[in-house]
Amino acid sequence: MGRPSLTGRFIYSPRAERQLNEINDWITRSASADVAKRFLTAVRAHIESLPTFPLAGRAHGDIRAGLRTTSFKKRTVIAYVVDEDSDGRVITVLGVFHGGQDWMRALSAGEDPAP
């Protein structure tokens, strides 16, 4: 479930995994499987770069405690929380919202809480 990196560990919430699969399916239908694979590889690389400057994302504590967001290619919002625990830094990706989805409402509703 958690994925180690040089400076932290990643956990993708069930919502984030589902959203990545939905984005993959949509791009595959709209363009091709190759385009979908390249896009998702780039999204995951962006996510995996977060430990370098984990607090660089915009803070949204008013929506959910510890919530931060970063954008990818202007149309994808990645929502995450950073936890520093005894085993090091853990970044939990709460959601990957694409194409104008209402991420604020979805996250304030508290669906799919972080593990």
- Is 80 exceeded by the pLDDT of residue 15? yes
Kind plus residue range of the DSSP H or E element containing 81: strand 76-85
How many whole angstroms separate alpha carbon 84 and alpha carbon 52? 14
Q: Minimal CA–CA distance to 11: which of 38, 53, 50, 58?
A: 50
pLDDT at residue 112, rounded to an integer: 53
Residue 35 belongs to a domain: yes
Say which CATH number the domain at 55 has.
Answer: 3.30.2310.20
Question: Mean pLDDT over residues 81-105, rounded?
Answer: 87
* 26: containing domain: 2-108
- Which range in 8-17, 31-40, 59-68 is most confidently predicted, on average pLDDT? 31-40
Query: Whole-number mean pLDDT of the chain?
Result: 87
pLDDT at residue 4, rounded to an integer: 44
Residue 23 belongs to a domain: yes
Domain count, the chain: 1
**pLDDT, tens digit, 9 for 90 and up, residues 30-62:** 999 999 999 999 999 999 898 888 888 999 999
